């Protein structure tokens, strides 16, 4: 007989004490990042009940099982409310896999190394921007791995969305109706590049002359023909009180024009439920939102590993659920030992259709693993849940320099009030020969300038 030293109630009491006090450090048995610094394994920071779904549910659910409408109530407390309703009422299924304890499989290798190296070096300056001790822009990795406030959690994620210096994502997107039909299908490209806090690409940590910028980001559409060539470019100032510059190319007008940058709660293409504001759960400058606060803490089921489909040559995923079996991606979830639920309210968007957003952060990496937004009446409105992976599976891998690539693999954006679903997946290539890449110097000239928008729009 195995006697547990710590039971499920022990962890619950620990999380509730921290929440009541208004603070809480990561880790239950020991400070999390002290444990990680020793050997990269998080196990010593948590009791076994938080590292195994079998232990957490007392054997009622095991690794390899599926969570369906028949057993979802056993883990209702481990799911955000919309995901629970999707499983309970819309036929969504979740395959359970073992908990990942190696931190290097949960974010890019260089990003984790920089987080450890630069731990304790970040602060907020007089304007609330993240800087080093001598007041310079941030130098790389998560600035607040031991975050004790919601503001620190959102600030770290806002600084580096995809956690690479440069990323290009080849994307396939489907818009699914409440009746389960795929009404629109798109192929697109999404590019990001950081001129500061660089950990992989020379020059590091800054791109000289661009230290006043946080991010260059673009999105363009390749198919179908009615949106082909449509492209947008965001240029983010480092100052998080300022809106990005938003430029767009519309093929019908054959020119680039500047768009109002505060209109961030509208879909870019027909049928989509995805907004610019949704990107990485931190799609707007930090101080265009406010009233940041922690409202919950505890374990969670989330798709933080195993989402890459190496068996498909283009990395495409299969679907299930909904009226026609096309509403949800097949998804693997695991028990995340500790997640923080943090809220924020849009304070610089007078006409925002949302009153607040609630984001679940995996405390081990402070990666956003789910988001739910609420309408102006305070009713649940939309959800955003993604899957991630180290791109290494079954003897196959996609490399980021010396290490396997880590990134998102697929996501759902669901409007719970209309029943419409937007599904996106990161694939190997899309039309026009655009292929997923990471930390390539060519990303800027190819995708992140005004001339690049013109070229993409006319090709």
Please report, in tens digits, the pLDDT of each residue of the chain (459 residues total).
444 555 556 665 555 455 555 556 788 999 999 999 999 999 999 999 999 999 999 999 999 999 999 999 999 999 999 999 999 999 999 999 999 999 999 999 999 999 999 999 999 999 999 999 999 999 999 999 999 999 999 999 999 999 999 999 999 999 999 999 999 999 999 999 999 999 999 999 999 999 999 999 999 999 999 999 999 999 999 999 999 999 999 888 888 999 888 888 988 889 999 999 999 999 999 999 999 999 999 999 999 999 999 999 999 999 999 999 999 999 999 999 999 999 999 999 989 999 999 999 999 999 999 999 999 999 999 999 999 999 999 999 999 999 999 999 999 999 999 999 999 999 999 999 999 999 999 999 999 999 999 999 887
Spell out the domains of the chain, with CATH numbers in brackets.
Answer: 1-459 (2.50.20.10)
Non-local (6+) Cβ contacts of 343 within 8 A are: 150, 291, 292, 293, 294, 295, 356, 357, 358, 359
Q: Is 171 exposed, middle or buried (0-12, 13-18, 19+ CB in 10 A)?
A: buried
At 121 the pLDDT is 98
Residue from 53, 84, 54 nearest 69 by CA = 84
Which residue's entry shows tokens 């022990």?
10
SS3 457: helix
DSSP state of 46: S
Contact between 63 and 95 (Cβ < 8 Å): no
Question: What whole-number distance in Å separates Cα of residue 176 and Cα of residue 242?
Answer: 35
Q: From the centroid of its chain, how far is CA 291?
A: 21
Q: Which residues pair with 331 in a beta bridge?
A: 94
* Angle between helical axes of 109-117 and 32-39 (0-180°, round to 10): 120
What pTM was estimated for this model as a whole?
Answer: 0.95
SS3 239: coil
């Amino acid at each position: 007989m195995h006697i547990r030293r710590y039971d499920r109630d022990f962890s619950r009491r620990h999380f509730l004490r921290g929440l009541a006090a208004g603070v809480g450090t990561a880790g239950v048995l020991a400070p999390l990042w002290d444990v990680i610094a020793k050997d990269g394994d998080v196990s010593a920071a948590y009791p076994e009940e938080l590292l195994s779904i079998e232990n957490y549910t007392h054997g009622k659910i095991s690794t390899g099982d599926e969570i369906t409408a028949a057993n979802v109530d056993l883990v209702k407390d481990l799911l955000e409310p919309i995901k629970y309703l999707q499983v309970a009422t819309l036929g969504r299924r979740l395959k359970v896999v073992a908990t990942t304890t190696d931190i290097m499989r949960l974010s890019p290798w260089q990003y984790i190394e920089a987080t450890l190296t630069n731990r304790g070096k970040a602060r907020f300056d007089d304007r609330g921007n993240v800087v080093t001790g001598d007041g310079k822009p941030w130098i790389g990795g998560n600035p607040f791995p031991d975050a004790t406030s919601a503001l620190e959690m959102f600030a770290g994620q806002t600084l580096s969305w995809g956690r690479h210096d440069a990323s290009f994502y080849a994307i396939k997107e489907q818009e699914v109706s409440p009746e389960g039909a795929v009404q629109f299908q798109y192929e697109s490209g999404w590019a990001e590049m950081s001129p500061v806090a660089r950990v992989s690409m020379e020059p590091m940590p800054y791109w000289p002359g661009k230290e006043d910028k946080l991010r260059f980001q673009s999105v363009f559409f390749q198919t179908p023909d009615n949106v082909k060539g449509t492209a947008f470019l965001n240029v983010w100032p480092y100052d998080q009180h300022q809106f990005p510059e938003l430029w767009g190319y519309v093929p019908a007008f054959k020119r680039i024009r500047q768009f109002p940058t505060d209109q961030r709660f509208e879909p870019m293409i027909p049928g989509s439920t995805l907004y610019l504001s949704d990107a990485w759960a931190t799609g707007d400058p930090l101080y265009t939102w406010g009233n940041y606060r922690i409202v919950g803490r505890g374990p969670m089921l989330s798709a933080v590993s195993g989402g890459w489909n190496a068996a498909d040559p283009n990395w495409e995923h299969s679907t299930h659920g909904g009226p026609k079996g096309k509403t949800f991606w097949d998804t693997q979830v695991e028990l995340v030992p500790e997640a923080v639920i943090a809220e924020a309210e849009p304070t610089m968007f007078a006409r925002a259709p949302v009153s607040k957003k609630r984001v679940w952060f995996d405390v081990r990496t402070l990666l956003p693993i789910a988001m739910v937004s609420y309408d102006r009446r305070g009713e649940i409105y939309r959800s955003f849940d993604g899957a991630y992976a180290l791109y290494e599976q079954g003897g196959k891998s996609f490399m980021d320099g010396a290490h396997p690539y880590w990134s998102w693999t697929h996501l759902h954006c669901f409007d719970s009030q209309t029943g419409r679903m937007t599904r996106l997946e990161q694939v190997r290539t899309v039309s026009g020969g655009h292929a997923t890449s990471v930390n390539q110097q060519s990303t800027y000239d190819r995708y992140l300038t005004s001339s690049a928008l013109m070229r993409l729009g006319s090709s």
